[in-house]
Structure 1
Amino acid sequence: MGTVVKRSDGRYQAAVYVLTPTGQRRRKFVYGRTWDEANDKRLELLDNNRKGVPSESSAMRLDEYLTYWLDHIAVHDLRPSTFARYRVLVRDYITPHLGRKKLNRLSPSDVRGLMATLARTKGKSGRVLSPRTIQFIHAVLRSALQHAVRDELIGRNVAKLVSPPRATPPEITPLSPEVARKFLRVANTHWLAALWLILLTTGLRRGEVLGLCWSDVDLDAGTLRVRRTVQKLDGVFVFGEPKSARSRRVLTLPSVCVAALRRQPDINRGRAAGEQRRVAGQPKDLVFVSTSGQPVDPRSVNRAFDRLLTKAEVPHSRVHDLRHTCATLLLAEGASDREVMELLGHSSIGITMNTYAHVLDDSKRRMASRMDGLFGEGG
């Protein structure tokens, strides 16, 4: 049950054998300025033992603490897809380099060393990790250590004292209207023709369109509701919530999308092969499925997109550029930035304006020209 004793320095100390994240039992000391304060901490440790919850220790290794943080804290705070990515980043990049360090011995120089090492590390693609990925790894470590600060295991968050590398936003390369039409002429014969049309005309994210279910679509009304996303992380399909509250949205579909979606059930039946096997968490009525009835692998979408671009004899780009193409074309046609924000599901209008500033600048110039026409010397 533990004991509470008064120390020579006037503080009170309690000692309890607690459960550790590794499943072992270890004696843990807690302190208080009064007997009641130390006893409250003792009772909290005993309550953790009763619930089977590990009690952290500032002297534990970082890999042990990160395991505890993921399994008992992050899993409840994060979307499933985000949590799955956090786990992969901890396992593949943080633990191999800093895992054996004591939590209370971690220093800013250790974190700087991690950043420098990651800048030379190759990811699963075989390419050196991008600054954006390193930023994300830094954010995971910073979040875990901040929880340790709140629990008074450490006095400061050393990750906050180290700046991650600057990441240059990826250049937006939307397709021109002519290139988009050439792509669609080729893509119209592909079994994912409806998917390409939805990506290009509604600006849905790849994970959002792959997570669409027939219960989300009203073909008679011509509407589509975004309710979920699907990703493949570490070889496992993960279904999750949309990226933000605004990402949960209802869109009106162009008639070309409605027509393509009406053909999709026949396409799915024609491609079905062998036993149909759903994965864990998969809805029963996904719009786009593989030949085995499972979600379409996002990497397969990327590969198919590359093949279609080659067949159409147009410059190569990313699947995500179809989303940028949708926004750019709409802005060029006079859609307001708020209308585009609602369509894309951005969490704030600032994201839309910053992302598509180049197009908005063109719109501003056209508006200025119109005012010249009205009130200029030649007006």
Structure 2
Amino acid sequence: MAKRAENGMGTIVERKDGRFHAAVYVLAPDGTKVRKYVYGKTRDEVKDKRVELLENNRKGIPSLGSSMKLGDYLDYWVEDVIRKERSESTYAGYETVIRRFIKPHLGTRKLNALTPKDVRGFIAKLRKQKTVRGEKLSDRYVQNVFEVLRSALTNACKEELIGRNVAKLVTTPSRGDHDIEPMDEDDARAFIRAASKHWLYALWLILITTGLRKGEVLGLAWSDIDLATGRVQVRRKVQRVRGRLLFGKVKTRRSRRSIYLGEICLAALAKHRTETAKRLTESLNPAPDQPADLIFVTSTGRVVEPRNVNTMLNRILRAAKLDKMRVHDLRHTAATLLLLDGATIREVMEQLGHASISTTGNIYGHILDEAKRRMADRMNHRVTEN
């Protein structure tokens, strides 16, 4: 027998199977009100679920249903979960992937009707899709899009909207061969000679000798470095996200790491500190949230623009008569030279701040083979010399 509830609370009804249910009008992601049913073994269990839904209405939070469209769920997930729990740069990347790639292909599918076949077909379409520049999406980007979808569906499972994550039933797209173009030892020396004339010489040295990411080096402050021991604490990064310069913590626990600088880097930093003090003007203009003791700043005390580093690199490469490359290739160069010098893959993983040793192995496996060959040659020389 139904028991009359308080006004606006909905009626709790006992079913023939002994369970209870109630219908409540809840806020949908598109702002409309829809009827949603809640179920429970007892009247109190249903009452608690009903109160939770009505509290969501009061707060303006949509209450989701498994039959909602995937596009509506993704909007909720990226705005109410990712934006609140992850960094702004992560949110911006996920929002772009959802808006440009996932929703156009799968947005109208119902969340609880999505199948592994739908996901496989989606991947196939991505492999044929082109960027705004008319280029095919890279294998790596296709995998990134897939991982965003899989992560969203994992959250839907946690919120008990769906019983399974169909993306986990589909083989993860391959990243393909990694496009690595590191310098060899001679080119690295030529680059350093050319960079020695640049006002950011210390920055270039750190990039090519440590393998730090561009944003990590630009985010370094003097308080992060012990100039006596060379120990560096990597704890923040700077990047431009949707037109804004943002300072934030490095992404993962592995990225929050300590490394050591060689004497050449420490000497360059000492000179850089003196030259920076001479160059600073009275009209300082630091970026929002910029550390007061940031190392690499312009004459106005503002962090060096990340995009300008790319332009400056091209000029140095031309001066050194080297082929054009990305700033990230300096990171690959550091890792390659470390491996060829005898560093283990785990040591390189920790230096680069990779999340797992498999990531490092997948990227630098072929270089590790060359390092092993060199090691065999050195051992052969030792046992055969007189």
Q: How does 1:112-151 map to 2 (within 5 A)?
A: 112-123=120-131, 126-151=134-159
Query: 348, 356, 368: which is aligned to 1:360?
Result: 368
Aligned to 2:258: 250
Q: Offset of 1:313 from its aligned partner?
A: 1.0
Query: 161, 171, 193: which is aligned to 1:185?
Result: 193
1:308-357: CA deviations, max 9, x gaps? 21221112222222122222223323334443333222334444444333
Question: CA–CA distance in 2 between the matches of 1:126 and 1:274?
Answer: 47
> Would you say 1:196 and 2:204 are equivalent positions?
yes
1:56-75: CA deviations, max 9, x gaps? 12233333222221232223
Q: TM-score, normalization: structure 2?
A: 0.84
Question: CA–CA distance in 2 between the matches of 1:2 and 1:223?
Answer: 63
Contact 1:88–1:234 under 8 Å retained in 2: no
Question: CA–CA distance in 2 between the matches of 1:281 and 1:121?
Answer: 39
Contact 2:146–2:173 under 8 Å retained in 1: no
Q: TM-score, normalization: structure 1?
A: 0.86
1:89-128: CA deviations, max 9, x gaps? 2233223333344333434444344333333333355532
SS at match of 2:21: strand
Which piece of structure 1 moves more, 314-323 or 93-102? 93-102
SS at match of 1:245: coil
Aligned to 2:244: 236
Q: Give the fraction of aligned pairs with identical amino acids, expressed as a percent.
A: 52
1:40 alignment partner AA: D
Aligned to 1:285: 293
> Would you say 1:73 and 2:81 are equivalent positions?
yes
Q: Structure 1 pair 131/191, CA: closer, same or farther in 2 (3 Å)?
A: same
SS at match of 2:351: helix
Question: CA–CA distance in 2 between the matches of 1:374 and 1:311?
Answer: 40
Question: CA–CA distance in 1 between the matches of 2:53 and 2:349?
Answer: 48
Gaps (5+ residues) in structure 2?
Answer: 1-8
Which piece of structure 1 moves more, 193-202 or 154-163? 154-163
Q: Offset of 1:221 from its aligned partner?
A: 3.6
Gaps (5+ residues) in structure 1?
Answer: none
Question: CA–CA distance in 2 between the matches of 1:162 and 1:278?
Answer: 48
Contact 2:341–2:371 under 8 Å retained in 1: no
Query: 142, 167, 172: which is aligned to 1:159?
Result: 167
Q: Offset of 1:194 from its aligned partner?
A: 1.4
Contact 2:65–2:161 under 8 Å retained in 1: yes
Question: CA–CA distance in 2 between the matches of 1:220 and 1:45?
Answer: 59
Q: Offset of 1:235 from its aligned partner?
A: 2.6
Q: Offset of 1:136 from its aligned partner?
A: 1.0
Equivalent residue pairs, number:
378
Q: Structure 1 pair 353/93, CA: closer, same or farther in 2 (3 Å)?
A: closer
Aligned to 1:45: 53
Question: CA–CA distance in 1 between the matches of 2:237 and 2:363?
Answer: 22
Q: Structure 1 pair 75/259, CA: closer, same or farther in 2 (3 Å)?
A: same
Contact 1:81–1:240 under 8 Å retained in 2: no
Q: Offset of 1:371 from its aligned partner?
A: 5.3
Question: CA–CA distance in 1 between the matches of 2:164 and 2:224?
Answer: 47
